[in-house]
Amino acid sequence: MKSPEFPANEKKRQAAVEKYQLLDTLPEDQYDDITSLMSYICDAPISLITLLDKERNFLKSHHGVPFNESPREFSFCGHAINSEDPVTIIEDARVDDRFFDNPLVTDYNAVFYAGAPLIDSEGFKLGTLCVFDQKPRKLTEKQLKALTSMSRQVVQLFELRYQNFKLIQAQDKLKLKNEDLRKFAGIVSHDLKSPLANIISLTELLEFDSDKLDEKSLQCLTYLKTSSNSLKNYIDGILEFYLTDHLLNCKQEHIDFESLILELGKITKTDNCTILSNAKDNVELIANKAALMQILINLITNAIKYNSKPETRIEIRLSAKHDFYEFSVKDNSDGIPKKELSKIFDLFSVVGVADKYGNMGTGIGLATVKRLIQDLGGDINVSSKEGHGSTFTFTIAKIVSPRLHVEA
């Protein structure tokens, strides 16, 4: 018996085998289906998908034999990966100097062998797709073609596994990054809120004694107060954006749409805002209430802030489709400039128009809305005409699957 020699590139080849993380894995149908099919096509009782490890031949799939590995020194596949032939054929191992006294021949009657190497994208031969028979024979041209074709399919499965593994690693890194960003946002917000609250309180206290200040001092005080409130809104927005994941952890529940509209009305009753709806249609709604409330409150708040009319009027309509809910939120606000419509949902993108309280937007609220809606399996769009209001239309899936949110 002649044990197979190690290829000249064995160290790199071994690393290529290990990167797929298939060694010592359990049987999988996708591989077992291939060996079963090759056994049928080649009319051979044994078919294997093998990976040449350091000292063994690991059988990722073994059709027709009870074991899942054998010593590499006995391996037919060890010889096959050293061959330049597209398929290594051994018609009768009993008369071959390399195999006549091989235990696989003497103990298991492995007489015929045909093996196609499994060659990865970098040219490394990882193992083989092979068939064995207990009698000397040949394969037809069609059988040989099937063997080489299916060997490429096996490698494709390996590659898909590897790409999926890399994707999972990337997802894990992104989750960690997102969690770090969320913690950072929380820490920064907490550390800034306290001194900022002191500044705002001091400003209000100075305003109370405004009769003791000259005009220039009052202007500076007004600027300080406006800037402090803008910074507070920015900090609150950042914190809200990174805390949306907690909202998504809330379970879906039956929601009485009419009661939800009443809740929104109570929140906005001091803002001279009237909310209309089609709640009387009694649409059955099952959704994440916490996330849905956050979305609607953001849209309503914007409609109130960017509205120069004496009264804010908002109409919220809900309809149930086959596999999603569709909401529309129509307002009588000042509208959105046409050139800004394409970017209003981008994080930190601002329209450049102060609200009715004189504050500039942070570009976080609508980005938060879009993020929540996408994580609920839906999408959002807007139509608007300056001076005539805006209509936001969004959907959420009836059954929400977990989704990874990727930060840019």
DSSP 237-249: HHHHHHTHHHHHT
**For range 324-349, the mean pLDDT:** 89
Q: What Å distances lie between residue 361 and 54, 234, 353, CA to CA?
A: 63, 8, 8
Per the CB < 8 A criterion, the answer to whether 227 and 234 are in contact is no
Domain with CATH 3.30.565.10 in the chain: 248-408
- Where does CATH 3.30.450.40 sit in the chain? 10-164
CA angle 47, 53, 56 (to 5 degrees): 70
Give strand pairing partners of 128.
50, 117
CB of 80 closer than 8 Å to CB of 88: yes
**Residue 276: both structure tokens together:** 């209309």
- Whether the pLDDT of residue 408 is over 50: the answer is no
Exposed/middle/buried for 167, CB within 10 Å: 0-12, 13-18, 19+? exposed
pLDDT at 244: 63
Give residue 231's pLDDT.
64
Class for domain 10-164, per CATH?
Answer: alpha beta
- Residue-wise pLDDT for 62-97, tens only, equals 999 999 999 999 999 999 999 999 999 999 999 999
Residue type, 184: F
User: Is pLDDT larger for residue 237 or for residue 152?
Assistant: 152
Rounded Cα distance, 145 and 139, in Å: 10
Q: What is the pLDDT of residue 202?
A: 72
Question: By the 8 A CB rule, do 33 and 50 touch?
Answer: no
| Side-chain-facing half-sphere of 323: CA atoms under 13 Å | 6
User: Mean pLDDT, to the nearest integer, of 277-300?
Assistant: 90
Place of tokens 């028979």: 133
Residue 407 has pLDDT above 50, yes or no: no
Read out DSSP for 333-384? S----GGGGGGTTSTT---S---TTSPPP-S-HHHHHHHHHHHTT--EEEEE
- Distance (Å, whole) CA 32 – CA 253: 43
Residue 254 token pair? 């039956």
Identify the pLDDT of residue 243: 60
pLDDT of residue 406: 41
Residues 6+ apart with CB under 8 A from 158: 20, 22, 118, 120, 126
- Residue 145: is its pLDDT beyond 70? yes
* Strand, coil or helix: 125: strand
CATH architecture of the domain formed by 248-408: 2-Layer Sandwich (3.30)
What's the pLDDT score for residue 81?
Answer: 96
Query: What is the overall mean pLDDT for the chain?
Result: 86
Query: What average pLDDT does this structure show over 359-372?
Result: 80
Q: What is the pLDDT of residue 216?
A: 76
pLDDT over 90, % of the chain:
56
CB 279 within 8 A of CB 257: yes
**Band of pLDDT at residue 59, cut at 50, 70 and 90:** very high
Distance, CA of 345 to CA of 217 (rounded, Å): 38
Residue-wise pLDDT tens digits, 198-257: 777 777 777 776 676 777 777 777 767 666 665 666 566 556 655 666 666 678 889 999
127-154 average pLDDT score: 97
CA 330 from centre of chain: 32
- Highest averaged pLDDT of the listed ranges 93-97, 291-295, 337-341, 371-375: 93-97
Band the pLDDT of 405: cuts 50, 70, 90: very low
Are residues 296 and 287 in contact, defined by beta-carbon separation less than 8 angstroms? no
Contact 147, 131 (CB under 8 A): yes
- Give 271 or 256, the one with higher predicted confidence: 256
DSSP-derived secondary structure letter, 56 = E
